Chain A
Amino acid sequence: MKRQIISILAENNSGVLLRICGMFSRRGYSIESLSAGTTEDPTISRLTIVTTGDSATLEQIEKQLMKLVNVREVRLLPDDCIKREHVIIRAGNDARTRTDLMQVANLFDANVLDVDDNSLAMELTGEPGKITAFIRLVQPYHIQKLVRTGLSALERE
């Protein structure tokens, strides 16, 4: 079993996400994370899907994706591709934890987005490992809300 990042270019129309996710679901392929958005061409979306499977399954996923009419391009990205995730966390429950959290944010170069008397909202963009480490260090300071995007990735040239 291998973790694989798949980058997909698809026509940006209603239903395309459903078609792709539906294909994964009915054929029993996993989606660990998914991120989608338009590209420089507003009629085209790029999706990044993280999946796992043996080599035969990954071959099938690629081929089945290519059969979808709205899908233009499918790439299985190599491990050394550019990978980014984004997280927004609101944490802290009193003035002291808030100060401690400022230090954690500094350590990771995270941006502070919002502050109130007892808590702090921070954002961080980085490789998935860095995001996970950041969340781990924020964990003791009472995480109130957390949103983490799926992975976005591009090949290196």
Chain B
Amino acid sequence: MKLTGAQIVVECLLEQGVDTVFGYPGGAVLNIYDALYEYQEKIRHILTAHEQGAAHAADGYARASGKTGVVIATSGPGATNLVTGIATAHMDSVPLVAITGNVGVPLLGLDSFQEVDITGITMPITKHNYIVKRVEDLAPILREAFRLANEGRKGPVLVDIPKDVTAAETEFVPQKPTVDPPAVLAADDDFQKAVELIKHAERPMIYAGGGVIFSEGAKPLAALAERIDAPVACSLMGQGGYDQTDRRYIGMLGMHGTVTSSRAVSTCDLFIGIGTRFSDRVTCDIKTFAPQAKIIHIDIDPAEVNKNVKVDLQLIGDASEVMRRLCNMLPDCSHAEWIAQIADWKESYPLHMEPRTEGGVTPQAVIETLWRLTGGNAVITTEVGQHQMWAAQFYDFKEPRQFISSGGLGTMGYGLGAAMGAQLARPDRRVVNIAGDGSFHMNCNELVTAYKYQIPVIELLFDNEVLGMVRQWQRLFYGKRFSQTTLERGTDYRKLAEAYGITGLRITRDDEIEPVLKQALSENGPVLIDCVIDRDINVLPMVPAGAAIDRPILNIEIDD
């Protein structure tokens, strides 16, 4: 059948099983939006307040569902507004297809109205990108974009389509997408070597990153940990890859990891990193990382091996498949003494927060109450900063895709859009965006989207009137010179919420935590909770940048 480029775009989305897209219309995508109007029974389009919000929502949708997120924006500023969202998805390996319009082919390169070279701009922050100059190429490129976004290490792909290409017609032949089975490139020999290393280890430790979640690896990871009898730490991106209520779980590893994790990494004699890129926020001082350990690295991306940490053995392939195969080759191991040592550390160094004033609210109390009231089943999204670390520390995630956060890029303003995307992907779950007041103000315009579509997310705003994480660093390393981190903007968050048609609640004392959270959870629409906390509650433990992981700061004196 003969279709226009715009119709082909939508047909290709349907072909890929897309039922929800996020975006914002504009001149260069008029034809695509006309096709979306035509297909509105089949594809739901969520209109955000700003293209950045749409990109984060598509990203949150992808992380919560495991499907590919799709975002559509017009040329020029529409396209550049996606950039932060695309970079966020790229750093965290999120499958995302961004479709942008551009000026017509004859106008390209002439500095035409709303023209921008978005493929040039996004080259370093996409797995790959395309500009489609002939309508005949459109369907094959869109199919390849979806394949690439999901193949191997996942990531964003951008397809830029000039306006005349969306208007031109060509023959369209539907084609079912094919899915390749997960790849394992590691040789049998290497598996055998891994088995030997594991069998001979006395103090093995498993460390799981985001790759475990993207490869649907929670079950094989649990089986492997049990088989090896090893403690498990997770990165920020790996939160939920392992049941955090399990006795073998030892917490996050890295700059704000638990003492148990940092002790374990410094003491273990075998370190198995799975689906991880050994980020600088995790390894801290590379020279003192896992000094006694042989390191096995399991990852889909060969370029991550020996990039940051020199490893003893690499197993390249889909993390799930590699773990399954490894598990089948291993006998049951037992490390009673090591596990007892771990349990002892866990008991001696729990994560704990004291209120700074009588009746004051601690993030720990709020998040743990939220955990209890939601049965530990909520999907938690976050912005970036102290609240992000507290969310990771105090909400015990039980399964993958429960924790959604900008780990690699650290994008303030990510969470609200992501929360809406996650909620649309998972209507069966409560979705709570844990935010700080700094991040909130970056993209709070998206509250209009939550209202318009009645997306029942809870915006839990830790309101301390400072950029807390930067303030924490200024306190420790910049002589308490709190340069530009005291916000004191005087926003009345409840009134703001009400102006957007959203229920606004407030927590100021510890005895208000439970009733207010209960009320929020009983609402059917979106809710904003202004949760007032002291500005000098810090994120601890903390390993200063570049310091050794085994020497975290455990206490910060507040003497001003």
Bound-state Cα–Cα, A56 to B123, Å: 25
Contact of A63 among B120, B124, B302 (CB under 8 A): B302
Residues of A within 8 A of B (CB): 15, 18-19, 22-23, 26, 56, 59-60, 63-64, 66-70
Residues 36-63 of B contacting A (Cβ, < 8 Å): none
- Shortest Cβ gap from A148 to chain B (Å): 29
> Considering only CB atoms, which chain A residue lies closest to B157 in the complex?
A69
Contact of B123 among A19, A60, A64, A67 (CB under 8 A): A19
B110 is an interface residue with CB less than 8 A from chain A: no
Decide if A56 touches B306 in the complex (CB within 8 Å): yes
Given contacts A59-B306, A69-B148, contact A15 B127 (CB under 8 A): no
Decide if B120 touches A67 in the complex (CB within 8 Å): no
Annotate B136-165 by CB proximity to A: 1 below 8 A, 0 otherwise.
000000000000100000000000000000
> Considering only CB atoms, which chain B residue lies closest to A67 in the complex?
B303
Bound-state Cα–Cα, A18 to B148, Å: 20
Contact of B124 among A26, A56, A60, A69 (CB under 8 A): A26
Decide if A18 touches B120 in the complex (CB within 8 Å): yes
Bound-state Cα–Cα, A2 to B119, Å: 34
- Shortest Cβ gap from B86 to chain A (Å): 15
Annotate B241-254 by CB proximity to A: 1 below 8 A, 0 otherwise.
00000000000000
Query: With a CB–CB cut-off of 8 A, which chain B residues contact A56?
Result: 306, 310
Decide if B123 touches A22 in the complex (CB within 8 Å): yes
Residues 110-128 of B contacting A (Cβ, < 8 Å): 119-120, 123-124, 127-128
Bound-state Cα–Cα, A69 to B157, Å: 11
Bound-state Cα–Cα, A136 to B303, Å: 42
Decide if B303 touches A69 in the complex (CB within 8 Å): no
Residues of B within 8 A of A (CB): 119-120, 123-124, 127-128, 148, 301-303, 306-307, 310
Decide if B128 touches A69 in the complex (CB within 8 Å): yes
Query: With a CB–CB cut-off of 8 A, which chain B residues contact A15?
Result: 119, 123
Query: With a CB–CB cut-off of 8 A, which chain B residues contact A19?
Result: 123
Q: List 20 A-B contacts (CB under 8 A).
A: A15-B119, A18-B120, A18-B123, A22-B123, A22-B124, A23-B124, A26-B124, A56-B310, A59-B306, A60-B307, A63-B303, A64-B303, A66-B302, A66-B303, A67-B301, A68-B128, A69-B127, A69-B128, A69-B148, A70-B128
Additional pairs, 9, CB under 8 Å, beyond known A22-B123, A22-B124, A60-B303:
A18-B123, A26-B124, A56-B310, A60-B306, A63-B302, A63-B303, A64-B303, A66-B303, A68-B128
Interface pairs A-B: 8 shortest CB-CB: A63-B303, A69-B128, A26-B124, A63-B302, A64-B303, A22-B123, A67-B303, A60-B307
> Considering only CB atoms, which chain A residue lies closest to B153 in the complex?
A67
> Considering only CB atoms, which chain B residue lies closest to A22 in the complex?
B123
> Considering only CB atoms, which chain B residue lies closest to A13 in the complex?
B130
Bound-state Cα–Cα, A63 to B185, Å: 14
- Shortest Cβ gap from B181 to chain A (Å): 21
- Shortest Cβ gap from A6 to chain B (Å): 15
> Considering only CB atoms, which chain A residue lies closest to B124 in the complex?
A26
Bound-state Cα–Cα, A18 to B123, Å: 9
Bound-state Cα–Cα, A67 to B120, Å: 18
Bound-state Cα–Cα, A56 to B308, Å: 10
Bound-state Cα–Cα, A23 to B302, Å: 16
- Shortest Cβ gap from A124 to chain B (Å): 37
- Shortest Cβ gap from A105 to chain B (Å): 43
Bound-state Cα–Cα, A56 to B305, Å: 10
Query: With a CB–CB cut-off of 8 A, which chain A residues contact B119?
Result: 15
Query: With a CB–CB cut-off of 8 A, which chain A residues contact B303?
Result: 60, 63-64, 66-67
Bound-state Cα–Cα, A23 to B303, Å: 13
Q: Which of A15, A18, A70 has the most CB of B within 10 A?
A: A15
> Considering only CB atoms, which chain B residue lies closest to A61 in the complex?
B303
Query: With a CB–CB cut-off of 8 A, which chain A residues contact B302?
Result: 63, 66
Bound-state Cα–Cα, A101 to B66, Å: 70
Query: With a CB–CB cut-off of 8 A, which chain A residues contact B120?
Result: 18
Bound-state Cα–Cα, A64 to B303, Å: 6
> Considering only CB atoms, which chain A residue lies closest to B301 in the complex?
A67
Q: Which of A18, A56, A63, A70 has the most CB of B within 10 A?
A: A63
Query: With a CB–CB cut-off of 8 A, which chain B residues contact A69?
Result: 127-128, 148
Bound-state Cα–Cα, A23 to B128, Å: 12
Query: With a CB–CB cut-off of 8 A, which chain A residues contact B124?
Result: 22-23, 26
Query: With a CB–CB cut-off of 8 A, which chain A residues contact B301?
Result: 67
- Shortest Cβ gap from A86 to chain B (Å): 30
Bound-state Cα–Cα, A23 to B301, Å: 16
> Considering only CB atoms, which chain B residue lies closest to A26 in the complex?
B124
- Shortest Cβ gap from A97 to chain B (Å): 46
Query: With a CB–CB cut-off of 8 A, which chain B residues contact A23?
Result: 124
Bound-state Cα–Cα, A60 to B307, Å: 7
- Shortest Cβ gap from A76 to chain B (Å): 15
> Considering only CB atoms, which chain A residue lies closest to B133 in the complex?
A14
> Considering only CB atoms, which chain A residue lies closest to B310 in the complex?
A56
- Shortest Cβ gap from A143 to chain B (Å): 37
Bound-state Cα–Cα, A149 to B476, Å: 54
> Considering only CB atoms, which chain B residue lies closest to A65 in the complex?
B303
Query: With a CB–CB cut-off of 8 A, which chain A residues contact B127?
Result: 69
- Shortest Cβ gap from A23 to chain B (Å): 8
> Considering only CB atoms, which chain A residue lies closest to B123 in the complex?
A22
- Shortest Cβ gap from B154 to chain A (Å): 13
- Shortest Cβ gap from A8 to chain B (Å): 16
Query: With a CB–CB cut-off of 8 A, which chain B residues contact A70?
Result: 128
Q: Which of B301, B302, B310 has the most CB of A within 10 A?
A: B302
Query: With a CB–CB cut-off of 8 A, which chain B residues contact A63?
Result: 302-303
Bound-state Cα–Cα, A69 to B303, Å: 14
- Shortest Cβ gap from B235 to chain A (Å): 21
- Shortest Cβ gap from A22 to chain B (Å): 6
- Shortest Cβ gap from A13 to chain B (Å): 10
> Considering only CB atoms, which chain B residue lies closest to A56 in the complex?
B306
